[in-house]
C-alpha cells in the first residue's frame, strides 16, 4: 500500500470539506473493497476520509413501510435489524448472504453501492426497490445512480448519506454465488409493489451477470405483471451478447443463470 | 503519522504509526502478538481474525488507525489465569487442528459465532458461518466438531455465570 493520510470526518460538512482540501481523497467506510484495492496498488488515494464516525449515519429507521438506511450501516446491522426484517425480509436476507461474517461486520451499504461492483448484491435491490439514493448534495433514483461497471453518478467530493425506499408488498433475492468469492454470478431481486389489479407494479433488478453492471429487466417485469409466477418468465430471453464471460462462467451460462435465478426469486416472493 | 490508542487484551496501548499500518501489522510487529496470522493478505482466509469492540474482523483489512479508540481482543487474550478458553480446549480435545496456521482465526471466529448466535449451534450453521475461514489441512470436519463442543462448554459457562 502506498502512503496515505487517514482522518475521521466529524459530520457530513466536515467530510466534504476534508475531501475538497485533499489532493486525491477517497472516502473510507468498511474498507472491505478499498483497502484490498490499495494493497494491490490499484488505488492510491492521498487521503482517506473515514465516514464511519459520523454520528447517526448508520441509523436504520422504519416507519410503517417507509425505510431509511444510513450509508454506514454495516451488512450485519442491516441483516439483523428487527424492524427491517418485518417490513422487508428480502433485503435482510440479501445482507445476511454478502461475503462472510467478518466482511459483514465491516462492509457498509453506502460503500457497496458507491463501489457498484458488477457482482455486488445491493445494487440489484436498490433498482428493484426503486430506492432513492441521498447524497450530501442531492437525491437521485437508483436507476440514475448506477451508471456502469464500477461507475456511479457520484461527483467529486460527493458521498452517499443514506438510501430510502417504500417496502414492497413482497419480494425476494435469489443469488447464485461464486463458490470461491461468494460474489454473485447472477443475482436477481424481484419486488412486487402492489399497484392495481389491472396494472400490478413489479420491478426486477439484476446483478452479477451483465457487462454493463446492474440493470433493470423491463421485459421480465412486464411478463410478471401479466402473471406473477415463475413460468411467466419462460417467454423472456436474456441476451447473451450483454453477459459477462470469464473463467467462472460463459456468457451463455450466465444468461441461463439469470433466468433460473429470476424464477427462483419469483417463487420465493410468492 | 497517526497516533493510535486502543485497548489490546485489556491493556491500554498507545503508539505513533504510519497511517497505512494495518491492524494486523500493529498487533504482530508493534505489540509482538504473533498469534494473529496472515494467511492471504487479500481478505479471504480469516487467519487474521480478531475482535474489535466485540466483533470479529479481518485485521489484514483494517488500518490500525481505524481501530484507534477501540477494544481489541486477539487469540492471546482468550485464555485467563493459565487455563485455556473452552473453545481452545475444544480444538485440542477434538483434534481441530493440524498445522495450526488457521487456528487462531478459527477460534476467534468460533467465539464470535457463539456470542452472536448462542451456544446451540448445528452443523449447517457452523459450516456456513465458517465461510470466511480457510483451512488447508483438516478438511474442516474436526473444526466443526470442535466448535460445536466448545460452544456447548461456553453455554454451560454462560448458564453458571447467570446463576
Ligand atoms: C472476502 C469478501 C467477500 C465479499 N463478498 C461480497 C458479496 O458476496 N457480495 C457483495 O455485494 N459484496 C461482497 N464483498 C464486498 C463488500 O460487501 C464491501 O463491503 C463493499 O463492496 C464495500 O463496502 P465498504 O463499506 O467496505 O466500502 P469501502 O471499501 O470503504 O469503499 C468502497 C468504495 O466506495 C467509496 N465509498 C465508501 N463509502 C462511501 C460513501 N458513503 N459514499 C461514497 N463513496 C463511498 C470508497 O471511496 C471506495 O471507492 C466482499 C468483500 C470481501 C473482502
Ligand atoms: S490474512 Fe486476513 S483474511 Fe487472510
Ligand atoms: S490446520 Fe493447517 S491450515 Fe488449518
Mean pLDDT of B8-18: 97
On whether both A156 and A181 belong to a single domain, the answer is no
Are the C-beta atoms of residues A91 and A68 closer than 8 Å to each other? no
Task: Say what the pLDDT of residue A197 is.
Answer: 87
Q: How far is the CA of B5 from the centre of ligand 3 (A)?
A: 32
**A28 has a chain B CB within 8 A of its CB:** yes
State the CATH number of the domain containing residue A206.
3.30.390.50
> What are the pLDDT digits (tens) for B61-75?
999 999 999 999 999
Confirm whether A133 is domain-assigned: yes
Q: Which residues contact A133 (CB under 8 A, 6 or more apart)?
A: A113, A126, A139, A140, A141, A142, A145, A160, A163
For residue B66, give the nearest of A3, A50, A76 by CB distance: A50
Nearest-angstrom CA–CA distance, A244 and A210: 5
Any alpha helices (H) in B43-140, and if so which ranges? 86-93, 103-117, 123-129
Residues of A in contact with B111 (CB under 8 A): none
Q: Where in chain B is the domain with CATH 3.10.20.30?
A: 2-77
CA distance A85 to A150: 29
Domain termination site, one of A117, A134, A166: A166
Cβ-based neighbours of A88, under 8 Å, separated by 6 or more = A67, A129, A167, A168, A171
pLDDT band at B100 (very low <50, low <70, confident <90, very high): very high
Q: Which pLDDT score, from 0 to 100, does residue A49 have?
A: 98
Check: CB of residue A141 under 8 Å from CB of residue A165.
no
Please spell the DSSP secondary structure of A41-89, one letter per residue: TS---SEEEE-TTSTTTT-EEEETTEEEEETT-BHHHHHH-HHHHHH-H
The pLDDT of residue A181: 84
Architecture of domain B86-162: Orthogonal Bundle (1.10)
**Cβ neighbour number for residue B147 with a 10 Å cutoff:** 30
pLDDT higher than threshold 90 for residue A7: yes
Same domain, A253 and A178: yes
Do the beta carbons of residue A81 and residue A92 sit within 8 Å?
yes
B106's grid cell: 478459527
pLDDT in the model for residue A184: 93
Does some domain include residue A90?
Answer: yes
| Nearest CA distance, A203 vs chain B (angstrom) | 30
Query: What is the per-residue pLDDT across A179-219, written as a single tens digit (0 to 9) for each?
Result: 888 899 999 999 999 999 889 999 999 999 999 999 999 99
- Report CA Rg, chain A: 18
Give mean pLDDT, residues B77-103: 96
Among A166, A187, A214, the domain-final residue is: A166
Residues of A within 8 A of B112 (CB-CB) are 101
Helix axis angle, B103-117 to B86-93, nearest 10°: 120
pLDDT of B159 > 80? The answer is: no
Residue contact B20–A76, C-beta within 8 A: no
A41 Cα–ligand 1 center, Å:
17
Label residue A124 by pLDDT band (50, 70, 90).
very high
Q: Is A46 on the interface with B (CB under 8 A)?
A: no
Q: What pLDDT was estimated at residue B80? A: 84
Ligand at minimal distance from the CA of B91 is 3
What is the CB < 6 Å shell around ligand 3?
B 97-102, 135-138
- Number of structural domains in chain A: 3
- The rounded Å distance from CA A103 to ligand 1 centre is 9
- Mean pLDDT over each residue of chain B, to the nearest integer: 96
Q: Are A10 and A53 in contact (CB under 8 A)?
A: yes
Residue A55 domain flag: no
Mean pLDDT of the B35-63 span:
97
Q: Give the DSSP letter string of B108-128.
A: HHHHHHHHHH-S---HHHHHH
Domain assignment present for residue A198? The answer is yes
pLDDT value at A270 more than 90: no
Cα B32 to averaged position of ligand 2 atoms, centre (Å) = 18
Domain enclosing residue A71, as ranges? 60-166
Q: Quick one: which of A57, A48, A53, A68 has its CA closest to A3?
A: A48
Is residue B161 predicted with pLDDT exceeding 80?
A: no
**In chain A, pLDDT over 70 holds for what percent of residues?**
100
Do A137 and A218 sit in the same domain of this protein?
no
- pTM equals 0.97
- Would A24 be classed as within a structural domain? yes
Residue extent(s) of CATH 1.10.150.120 domains in chain B: 86-162
Q: Is the dihedral of CA A150, A153, A155, A159 positive or negative?
A: negative
Cβ–Cβ gap B131/A48 under 8 Å: no
Residues A159 and A247 in one domain: no
Q: Do A99 and B131 count as a contact with CB atoms less than 8 A apart? A: yes
CATH fit for domain B2-77, picks 3.30.1120.10, 3.30.1360.40, 3.10.20.30, 2.40.30.170: 3.10.20.30
Task: Tell which of A166, A191, A221 closes a domain.
Answer: A166
Same-domain check for residues A102 and A148: yes
Whichever domain contains A84, its CATH number is 3.30.465.10
Q: Average of pLDDT values for A132-160?
A: 97
d(CA A35, CA A53) in angstroms, rounded, equals 18
| Residue ranges around ligand 2 (CB below 6 Å) | B 38-41, 43-48, 58, 60
The C-alpha cell 476534508 sits at: A18
Per DSSP bridges, beta strands A200-207 and A132-135 are unpaired
Structural domain contains residue A72: yes
**What value does the CA radius of gyration of chain B take, rounded to a whole number of Å?**
16
Amino acid at each position: 500500500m502506498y502512503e496515505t493520510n487517514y482522518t475521521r470526518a466529524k459530520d457530513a460538512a466536515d467530510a466534504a470539506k476534508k475531501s475538497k482540501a485533499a489532493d486525491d481523497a477517497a472516502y473510507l467506510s468498511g474498507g472491505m473493497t478499498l483497502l484490498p484495492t490499495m494493497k494491490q496498488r490499484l488505488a492510491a488515494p492521498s487521503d482517506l476520509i473515514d465516514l464511519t464516525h459520523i454520528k447517526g449515519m448508520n441509523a436504520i429507521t422504519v416507519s410503517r413501510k417507509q425505510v431509511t438506511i444510513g450509508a454506514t450501516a454495516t451488512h450485519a446491522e442491516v441483516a439483523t435489524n428487527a424492524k427491517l426484517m418485518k417490513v422487508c425480509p428480502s433485503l435482510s436476507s440479501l445482507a445476511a448472504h454478502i461475503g462472510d461474517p467478518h466482511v459483514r461486520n465491516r462492509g457498509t451499504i453506502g460503500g457497496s453501492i458507491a463501489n457498484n461492483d458488477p457482482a455486488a448484491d445491493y445494487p440489484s435491490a436498490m433498482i428493484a426497490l426503486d430506492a432513492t439514493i441521498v447524497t450530501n448534495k442531492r437525491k437521485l433514483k437508483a436507476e440514475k445512480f448506477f451508471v456502469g461497471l464500477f461507475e456511479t453518478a457520484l461527483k467529486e467530493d460527493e458521498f452517499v448519506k443514506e438510501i430510502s425506499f417504500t417496502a414492497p408488498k413482497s419480494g425476494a433475492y435469489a443469488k447464485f454465488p461464486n463458490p470461491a468469492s461468494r460474489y454473485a454470478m447472477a443475482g436477481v431481486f424481484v419486488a412486487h409493489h402492489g399497484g392495481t389489479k389491472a396494472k400490478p407494479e413489479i420491478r426486477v433488478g439484476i446483478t452479477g451477470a451483465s457487462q454493463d453492471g446492474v440493470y433493470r429487466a423491463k421485459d421480465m417485469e412486464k411478463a410478471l405483471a401479466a402473471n406473477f409466477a415463475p413460468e411467466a418468465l419462460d417467454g423472456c430471453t436474456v441476451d447473451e451478447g450483454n453477459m459477462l464471460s470469464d473463467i467462472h462462467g460463459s456468457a451463455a451460462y450466465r444468461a441461463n443463470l439469470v433466468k433460473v435465478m429470476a424464477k427462483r426469486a419469483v417463487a420465493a416472493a410468492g | 503519522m497517526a497516533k493510535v490508542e486502543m485497548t489490546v487484551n485489556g491493556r491500554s496501548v498507545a503508539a505513533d504509526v504510519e497511517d497505512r499500518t494495518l491492524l494486523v501489522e500493529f498487533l504482530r510487529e508493534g505489540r509482538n502478538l504473533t498469534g494473529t496470522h496472515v494467511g492471504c493478505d487479500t481478505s479471504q482466509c480469516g487467519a487474521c481474525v480478531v475482535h474489535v469492540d466485540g466483533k470479529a474482523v479481518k485485521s489484514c483489512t483494517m488500518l490500525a488507525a481505524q481501530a484507534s479508540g477501540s477494544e481489541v481482543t486477539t487469540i492471546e487474550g482468550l485464555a485467563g489465569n493459565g487455563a485455556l478458553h473452552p473453545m481452545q480446549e475444544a480444538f485440542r480435545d477434538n483434534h481441530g487442528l493440524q498445522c495450526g496456521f488457521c487456528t487462531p482465526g478459527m477460534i476467534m471466529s468460533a467465539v464470535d459465532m457463539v456470542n452472536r448466535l448462542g451456544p446451540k449451534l448445528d452443523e449447517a450453521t457452523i459450516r456456513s458461518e465458517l465461510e470466511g475461514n480457510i483451512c488447508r489441512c483438516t478438511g474442516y470436519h474436526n473444526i466443526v466438531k470442535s466448535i460445536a463442543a466448545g460452544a456447548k462448554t461456553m453455554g454451560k459457562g454462560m448458564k453458571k455465570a447467570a446463576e
